[in-house]
Amino acid sequence: MLKLIVMKRGGQPGHYAINPDLVTYVRSSSGPFTDIHFGEHLVSVEGTFQEVIAKLTGQFDQLAQPPVKNWIKAG
């Protein structure tokens, strides 16, 4: 099954749909942007290096959610 992650284009209107399995490397860029390389192809997306890596590895949803509260008290 094809897995695509949608990211906002860096400094331009629109979005990219990225297949994380094809990414060859990721590099932080100037400002709030990160460059994603696919072999010789390059796209610039909005977000810090850590945010982009979290999205590409499927960890972004975990970072965005508040911690779970345990309402059961040990007695």
Sequence-distant (6+) residues with CB within 8 A of 11 are 31, 33, 44, 46
Confidence bin at 72 (pLDDT 50/70/90): low
Identify the bridge partners of residue 37 per DSSP, sorted by sequence position. Answer: 25, 42
**Which pLDDT score, from 0 to 100, does residue 31 have?**
86
Integer Cα distance of 45 and 26 in angstroms: 11
Q: Where are the domains of the chain?
A: 5-64
Reported pTM: 0.74
pLDDT, tens digit (0-9, with 9 covering 90-100), for 23-71: 999 999 988 999 999 989 999 999 999 999 999 998 866 555 555 566 6
Are 34 and 26 within 8 A, CB to CB?
yes
